[in-house]
Chains A and B, each alone.
Chain A
């Protein structure tokens, strides 16, 4: 089955030719009903009964067309998706509108087990629908084809089509457990351990981001219903930390990556400048969100085979 492809701008327009349509079980029930009614009309040669039966036949056929039409001309626009740490659910937000400003009803979107349904109300207004997908692997996650379907207006037919937006979501590696890092640090190297010293001087609060160590969460703010806030600490010293792949001695690549990820998060949390050394790749010491993202992306996309 063919899917509607991305037009290059993250948009997918549903044309009429790739919409598939089949009767639902209600549709089959309806067809049986019509057959019975036709038999009754034939037998009693009852003209109004014929008329009723044929009106319902017309209604069914028209509903089939309307179901197809309800899907045709819908425009999907993948909205930018935030990177997630592996193991967390990715949130896919899609903006829906239509090329012809007709209202649409009960448009359902489905990606694996996650489904949502909504009406597209009026002329040029658009709606945003949200799907969840589990992240299982670090690296770029290509959003698989999304199933758009509808049963409007009578639920007798279901029309569906596949939309394949060319959107990728970055899945950061899952960070190692905090405790594990401490243990590991003591064994393997000083450079990594330096990240620990950062948690000395409290500078302020910022919004919780996935990956922040749980013990930095400011539970008092949470109790005051301000949402999850993380405490930020900084080290007065500006000496950059080197987070080094080679400092870890293990054959397990994923294990090393998760430890490095934890180190990056901790260094960022501490407000320190840090550099990341990976086989064949070095990211200069810096700090801030962009740097954090660059490091995490490098870790997420790290391919061990090419540099072993």
Chain B
């Protein structure tokens, strides 16, 4: 068969459009490819665009071969060909540039468009951000518009766009079905080494004065939480991270332990099920709700119920967890008692005296009274909760307690732990996050870096490790509300994310909620769609006993059968409409012919009408009415339902003599 379209020339505007689109698709590789590769591509494009005016600039066959060698050399030198992904991408981009240089006919256009699709895919190997994905999918749509335009004789821009949009939309059911049920592999086909996005902010496993205060100025998302049923109250929303034991006077740090945790005794009624979605941190720590009892796959608890991933969290990852707000945690070994009472060598005299004074006063009332006394102290003395506590000198605890009295959560936690240890109560510091912001557009909680927090746990005989938050004694509103990172960093004052905001702020917040919802949706349904998730989805169809590949094939078969059915239904129904119109028309013709009117087969409705009116001038109106109805039934895109009935009635009433 011939291809008559192939003889049509490729228009200049199509070439320009192709070049623009391909450039847009290659553009995000600026972050991934070396300047030499991109330079090569850019030079090819510039040359190609210049050749639109001066066609003799296009390289001949020999020069093109030479350029190809040059391009391959460029790839080899600049990628080292160790990383298959990088070398492949670079080669693809170079080849695309060269292909554009020899772009002449429709075949070349096709090859370029197909290479463009492949470029999109390589982009995803480097970054899976939602916004990049949206950008790339739009460009892909535009690229397919080009294909549609290539396959039309007369190109109407608006119509072509509309047709392509419909085409893409109609391909979504197949795409989504395949995405959901296509079997995933457990192991890659060939070895891959991916360097993940490195984290920029996040909590580390040591605590210095000011380290959390710095974090509080970032509104970046740390993790998101979706509760399946019951939600914790504001004062229960403590996201436990690292547990720190050792203090050298300036820095708190963790003490590594290989001992597995003791069973937690919990109150089953206080159970809370939730899903935690960590952002990529490049570190192994998770921040589960206090107190999470079971470890999900790929993680383990250490002795302090600190949940640690087996590898670094290099991409956004979701975990399904269970917490109990009422629990009794742990035991205290000899070694732990020593660690929990350990103190730096230099402790100022007045600090010692303060703690000892509390201890003596509470010999009868017990440890609980000492804790309350300390909290009272923070509450009643003029302590200020601030992001800018100022520089502290050689003995920060002493200076903070007696001189500056300005501090952020780590100052309070640190001073509190030292005081408790001086008073003989085993204590430790926990760092993590506190609070969170509910996103009503997505139904989940966002915990930001600005929610980073430090608090204490003290060992009380008979009660185990008990959480005490000295910051709450100074600034109870901190526990009720989140810190507004943007405003706090500007003023140095701690500004809370309160509800009474201006209209602009409200709109801004609404928008940021929507963005957050889209981002997590992208993660939940696309990025985080793992083999386990797929299995649980397929199990809902009640075919859990079959092997995974059989489940997938079964679902694909069912979906395609449904589509086939829908299509067959459309096939059978469609022609009936026009048949009905034709039948009605034939009945009219029969009547006319029976009354002796000569209506040749090639007469259209108008000619028939003219002939009939000539014969029966008095019936002109009735005849015109019938013909109008027929034309409407036959040719209107959506004929009115009553038209057929009216036609029958009109035909019955028609008086031909």
Contacts and interface: CB of A to CB of B under 8 A. Distances in A.
Interface of A: 8-10, 16, 26, 29-30, 33, 36-37, 39-59, 61-63, 65-66, 73, 99-101, 105-106, 108, 110, 113, 115-119, 121, 123-124, 147, 149, 151-155, 158, 160
Contacts of A37: 117-118, 121
Contacts of B137: 52, 55
A8 B602 CA distance: 11
Interface in B144-179: 144, 147-148, 150-154, 163-164, 167-168, 170-176, 178-179
B574 A100 contact: yes
B3, B144, B168 interface centre (most CB from chain A within 10 Å):
B3
A62 B190 contact: no
Contacts of B596: none
B5 A30 contact: no
B63 interface: no
B184 A29 contact: no
Contacts of A147: 1
B351 to A, nearest CB: 55
Contacts of B168: 55, 59
B124, B163, B194 interface centre (most CB from chain A within 10 Å):
B124
B36 interface: no
Nearest to A67: B151
B637 A123 contact: yes
Nearest to A155: B151
B602 A9 contact: yes
Given A42-B189, A62-B174, A123-B637, A50 B153 contact: no
Given A58-B172, A59-B171, A153-B148, A36 B4 contact: no
B571 A62 contact: no
Contacts, number: 169
B114 A55 contact: no
Contacts of B152: 105-106, 119, 152
A220 B118 CA distance: 65
B124 A46 contact: yes
B151 A152 contact: yes
Contact of A46 (B5, B128, B151, B182): B128
B556 to A, nearest CB: 11
Interface in B111-151: 111, 114, 117-118, 120-121, 124-125, 128, 133, 136-137, 140, 144, 147-148, 150-151
Contacts of A121: 154
Contacts of A45: 184-185, 188
A58 B173 CA distance: 8
Contacts of A49: 121, 124-125
A58 B174 CA distance: 5
B171 A106 contact: no
Contact of A155 (B150, B179, B194): B150
14 contacts: A9-B601, A29-B114, A40-B125, A43-B185, A44-B125, A48-B526, A49-B121, A52-B124, A59-B167, A59-B168, A61-B171, A110-B2, A149-B1, A153-B163
A115 B6 CA distance: 12
Contacts of A155: 110, 147, 150-151
Contacts of A9: 601-602
Nearest to B1: A149
3 smallest beta-carbon distances between A and B, as pairs: A58-B171, A58-B174, A117-B4
Nearest to A77: B602
Contacts of A149: 1
B337 interface: no
Nearest to A60: B171
A129 to B, nearest CB: 11
Contacts of A154: 144, 147-148, 151, 167
A153 B151 contact: yes
